[in-house]
A and B are shown apart, each in its own frame.
Chain A
Amino acid sequence: MTSPLVDIRGLEKRFDLSGSLLEQITFKNGRFQRRQEAVHAINGVDLQVYKGEALCVVGESGCGKSTVARTVMGLLSPSAGEVHYDGQRIDDLKGQQVLPYRRKMQMIFQNPYASLNPRMTIQQTLEEPIHFHRPELSRNEVRSKVREVMESVGIDADWGSRFGHEFSGGQRQRIAIARALAVDPEFIVADEPISALDVSIQAQVLNLLMDAQETRNLTYLFITHDLAVVEHFGTRVAVMYLGRVCELAQTATLFSEPRHPYTQALLSAIPRLEDDRPNYIRLQGEVPTPVNLPSGCVFHGRCPYANERCRQEIPRLIATDGGNQVACHAVEEGRL
């Protein structure tokens, strides 16, 4: 396989909960103790995104998928691990050095009601990044670029002097997509771009993203919790649970033969028309808190196949057939 466009290696992100030094010190059993707590949002994620594909990251709320997206974009700095773009490490770049990557990598956000500046017109919102990244363009060139990009997302180019609040949610998300496309990026991180939209609009926006992928030769890292979207959109799928990737596979393979017990449970939860008596896999318990991670496999407390090894040893992603990967001792040992 060719070298990946985006390479995430051993990424970890912890959010400190314990506050300042004074707040960490507690008095317990007759002596002072220093107590530090952190939310382990991502615990060692390795992902490769190849040029031209749409890698979907799925998982339930709080599994760290949005944190992965924000860390890749540099909105958060990783606690450990590296992010590489086109062979160049980008997570430790400072100041001006990041700018070329800001142009190549763009992001689409979840909430179209908050992602447009309420005090800026659409024209200003779209012109600013072009001015900033391509100062050599004249006013007219910028304006025609804005026109082109607005038309490409299906927004009337004459609406530029309006403000964000004058548009519907779907239109705003189109404008947010136009803003990301305005700087001609190669790689787009989409953080649940359609989950805040009405169902009837979701398909339109999804198709818009797919058209843009085709015409502009884009690569996506697509964060979602909607499995139907994944099936429609993704080239490959990474399933996350509690800050770890548990399975990474081609979309078709993942949906036809899920290997990891968590993936199997997740897929069995999709409601299907043909089922009048659905066969859900019922997991016991709840997702453990990311503050105190379970030892070994993060899924062992809820996994019907867990044994002693799963409680002790953290499973690593192992390659199965066809370039797919799964992190499960049971699969590795052939128990599953």
Chain B
Amino acid sequence: MTTATLSRWDRFRESFLWYSFKRDKVAIASFVVLVLMVLAAIFAPLLAPTNPYDLAQINIMNSELPPVGMQGADPAFPLGTDAQGRDMLSTILYGTRVSLLIGFGAVVLQAALGILFGLLAGYLGGRVDSILMRIADVQLSFSTLMVAIIVGAVFKASFGNLMFGEIAIYMLIFIIGVAEWPQIARTVRASVLAEKKKEYVDAAKVMGFRTNRIMFRHILPNTLSPIFVIATVQIANAIISEAALSFLGLGMPETQPSLGSLIKSGFDYIQSGSWWITLIPGLVLVVLVLVINLLGDWLRDVMNPRLYKG
């Protein structure tokens, strides 16, 4: 053992995570694409040629212009325009931003609920465990989409379209986050059940540490790797759920389009030849979800040592 002590960065550089990342071309490519998309989404206001939320910048005369390279294209709109004359490139950048925000937000909410309930159920056991896990079972027996449709429809009816447009993004985060917490709670509970039998937990109990401290400071850090894997895949799921809801008209309003509502708004024109309004946002959605899922698969392989590939 060398006497030099490693910094966090050096530890990461020497870790199996980094080693397998370097060797996995799919993971590198997915990561690069994801980072580019996230950066593009974050800096959408700087990158986008126009602001699709600003009605003053839209000219209805520019509607349904095809992407560059086709007959009748306007070089000012590289990806064409939609039925209202909005620049597709700008709407897609803003739409990716909304989709990613909902995806991350919903997963943060899911993780917060799932970790809390999973830890309580796994560590306290007994009645708390039974009650929480039965709630999770009941919730899992409803399809996420069905719950979201009902809740969304009720909210939309009670708040009205205008008000709903303003709170839609929070609503979607809330609906998707609450509907999917049992996935994470069950995973956390399973790891907690394995961890709490280990002697370091007994040692913490013998020290007299309180239950909260043992749960959050000692057990939780040791259950994080499966949570990472699930959370990654859940981001993709949340983005898809949001797109599906938007496609059904229960998601983001067309004035603040997400990728899903863009697909929906273009769907009416696909028969009339304006395929780009639906197809390009659809492609972006597919790529986004694909790279997140590929990264999730890679993470799962790395963090589960029993799955080492040759």
Q: How far is the CA of A73 from the CA of B217 in the complex (A)?
A: 22
Q: Determine whether the beta carbon of A102 is less than 8 Å from that of B207.
A: yes
Q: How far is the CA of A166 from the CA of B202 in the complex (A)?
A: 21
Q: Determine whether the beta carbon of A75 is less than 8 Å from that of B205.
A: yes
Question: What does the 1/0 interface line of A39-79 toward B look like (CB < 8 Å)?
Answer: 00000000000000000000000000000001001110000
* Shortest 8 CB-CB contacts between residues of A and residues of B: A102-B208, A115-B199, A119-B221, A109-B199, A114-B199, A117-B200, A114-B198, A107-B206
> Is A329 among interface residues, defined by CB-CB distance under 8 A?
no
Known contacts A117-B222, A158-B3, A161-B5; A109 and B202 CB within 8 A of each other: yes
> Is B56 among interface residues, defined by CB-CB distance under 8 A?
no
Q: How far is the CA of A70 from the CA of B202 in the complex (A)?
A: 9
B residues near A70, Cβ cutoff 8 Å: 202
> Is B61 among interface residues, defined by CB-CB distance under 8 A?
no
> Is B16 among interface residues, defined by CB-CB distance under 8 A?
no
> Is A147 among interface residues, defined by CB-CB distance under 8 A?
no
Which residues of chain A in 127-177 are interfacial with respect to chain B, using CB atoms and an 8 Å cutoff?
128-129, 132-133, 158-159, 161-162, 166, 176
Which residues of chain B in 196-243 are interfacial with respect to chain A, using CB atoms and an 8 Å cutoff?
198-200, 202-209, 217-218, 221-222
Question: What does the 1/0 interface line of B270-285 toward A look like (CB < 8 Å)?
Answer: 0000000000000000
A311 → chain B, closest Cβ, in Å?
A: 39
A residues near B1, Cβ cutoff 8 Å: 166
A163 → chain B, closest Cβ, in Å?
A: 9
Total contacts A-B at CB 8 Å:
61
A residues near B203, Cβ cutoff 8 Å: 107, 109, 115, 176, 179
B196 → chain A, closest Cβ, in Å?
A: 12
> Is A264 among interface residues, defined by CB-CB distance under 8 A?
no
B residues near A176, Cβ cutoff 8 Å: 203
Q: Determine whether the beta carbon of A102 is less than 8 Å from that of B206.
A: yes
Main SS of chain A's interface residues? mixed
> Is A325 among interface residues, defined by CB-CB distance under 8 A?
no
Known contacts A114-B198, A114-B200, A115-B200; A132 and B206 CB within 8 A of each other: no
> Is A98 among interface residues, defined by CB-CB distance under 8 A?
yes
Q: Determine whether the beta carbon of B199 is less than 8 Å from that of A132.
A: no
B residues near A109, Cβ cutoff 8 Å: 199, 202-203
For B130, give the chain A residue with the smallest CB separation. Answer: A20
Q: How far is the CA of A133 from the CA of B209 in the complex (A)?
A: 9
Q: How far is the CA of A105 from the CA of B203 in the complex (A)?
A: 12
Q: How far is the CA of A75 from the CA of B206 in the complex (A)?
A: 7
Question: What does the 1/0 interface line of A102-117 toward B look like (CB < 8 Å)?
Answer: 1101110111001111
A residues near B218, Cβ cutoff 8 Å: 117, 120
Q: How far is the CA of A256 from the CA of B203 in the complex (A)?
A: 37
> Is A190 among interface residues, defined by CB-CB distance under 8 A?
no
